[in-house]
Structure 1
Amino acid sequence: MSALIPIREHGGDGVSDIKLDKLAYSLDNFAAAVDLSKEKVRQHIERGELVPSYVDHKPLIMREEGERWLRSRPSERPERSIAP
């Protein structure tokens, strides 16, 4: 999960572009980054599996938390239970 943000830096020789990794993601952007719906991301938050940080009332997923959460996901596809 490495979105780069272009930043303009003014130096002695003019302007150059630097790129910084995005530090946090809105729920919409995090969902897009991991190819899930926003509702699915909210479900993981409600279960306490994914922990947002808040700026005022806005939930943000910190880059490190998103990476931790992804690493904690199963590496094998879970079996589906078939209802009798």
Structure 2
Amino acid sequence: MNAPKISYSIPEAAEATGYGETTIKEAVRCGDLTPRYANRKPVILADDLQQWVASLPIVSPTERKRGERSWTV
């Protein structure tokens, strides 16, 4: 029986979200994610990681103010 993960290391959090480690570390630095420490190793709680992803903007920053896309198909 596999127990659900309750925390992630920085590399695991990056893999779980599809973002890079730099993005996860930046979220920690900005205070958007709060690490807990097991000895010296920072871990991100699974609930915190899910809340952070859910709080990300729905509209891409590459979309223009008038709703125009900055890319074409």
Q: Which runs of 5+ in 2 are unaligned?
A: 65-73
TM-score, scaled to structure 2: 0.79
User: Which whole-Å CA distance do the structure 2 matches of 1:69 and 1:38 have between them?
Assistant: 15
Distance 2:53 2:18 in 1: 12
Q: 1:39 to 1:76 in 2, by over 3 A?
A: same
Q: Give identity over the alignment, percent.
A: 25
1:1-84 to 2 correspondence within 5 Å? 18-79=1-62
Bigger fraction of residues in helix:
2
Ranges of 4+ aligned residues in structure 1 off by more than 2 Å? none
Q: Which has the larger radius of gyration?
A: 1
From the two aligned structures, give the one with the greater strand fraction.
1
- Provide the alpha-carbon RMSD of the alignment: 1.6
- TM-score of the aligned structures, taking structure 1 as reference length: 0.69
**Structure showing greater relative contact order (alpha-carbon pairs closer than 8 Å, 6 or more residues apart):** 2
Matches of 2:13 and 2:39, distance apart in 1: 18
Aligned length: 64
Listed as ranges, the gaps of 5+ residues in structure 1 are 1-17
